[in-house]
């Protein structure tokens, strides 16, 4: 069984609240999440142009997504709600037939059972909270 690196909640909260720290860290590296995120276990995803890392909770998953421009997540639904925030980039998000452009700093809530899909207009980083602990599986080593 694989063990997962856990980020102390205080560190994660500090990173999200201190935008200048995030902006300074981002200016010193190329597109993508920092090592503290990429050291988490990678998610096994069926989507082309999408990578993600899992922060596993007892009842939830927090997923850190990186999408290439023009990546698509096809329409689907699940029995639990999903909340997310765009850290960098821009996407078109369709929920129950209504499309909105979501950009850096915008958050969204996808209700349980709502049909939704996403098209990424630029390289995009998103953090999603799934109210289900097994939404994504861990990518197996090859």
Q: What is the 3-state secondary structure (H, E, C) of 97-111?
A: CEEEEEECCCEEEEC
Is 61 inside a domain boundary?
A: yes
Is 97 inside a domain boundary?
A: yes
Is 141 inside a domain boundary?
A: no
For the chain, the DSSP string reads ----PPPPHHHHHHHHH-HHHHHHHHHTS-SS--HHHHTSEEB---STTEEEEEEE-SS-EEEEEEE-TT-EEEEE--SS-EEEEEEESEEEEEETTEEEEEETT-EEEE-TT--EEEEESSSEEEEEEESSTTSSPBPPP-
Is 9 inside a domain boundary?
A: no
Task: Please give the average per-residue pLDDT across 52-81, as a whole number.
Answer: 95
Task: Please give the average per-residue pLDDT across 69-88, as a whole number.
Answer: 96
Is 16 inside a domain boundary?
A: no
Structural domain for 54, as ranges: 41-130
Q: How many domains is the chain built from?
A: 1
pLDDT, one tens digit per residue, over 7-54 is 555 555 555 555 555 555 555 556 789 999 999 999 999 989 999 999
- Model pLDDT, residue 29: 52
Is 30 inside a domain boundary?
A: no
- Model pLDDT, residue 140: 85
- Model pLDDT, residue 31: 74
Is 70 inside a domain boundary?
A: yes
Cα-to-chain-centroid distance, residue 97 = 22
Is 96 inside a domain boundary?
A: yes
User: What CATH code is carried by the domain that includes residue 46?
Assistant: 2.60.120.10
């Amino acid at each position: 069984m694989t063990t997962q690196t856990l980020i102390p909640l205080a560190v994660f909260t500090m990173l999200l609240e201190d935008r200048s720290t995030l902006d300074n860290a981002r200016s010193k590296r190329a597109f993508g999440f920092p090592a503290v995120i990429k050291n988490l276990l990678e998610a096994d995803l069926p989507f082309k142009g999408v990578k993600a890392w899992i922060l596993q909770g007892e009842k939830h998953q927090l997923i850190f997504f990186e999408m290439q421009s023009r990546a698509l997540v096809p329409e689907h639904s699940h029995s639990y709600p999903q909340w997310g925030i765009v850290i960098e980039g821009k996407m078109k998000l369709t929920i129950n037939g209504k499309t909105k452009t979501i950009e850096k700093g915008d958050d969204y809530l996808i209700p349980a059972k709502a049909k939704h899909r996403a098209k990424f207009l630029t390289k995009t980083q998103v953090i999603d909270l799934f109210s289900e602990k097994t939404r994504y599986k861990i990518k197996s080593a090859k």
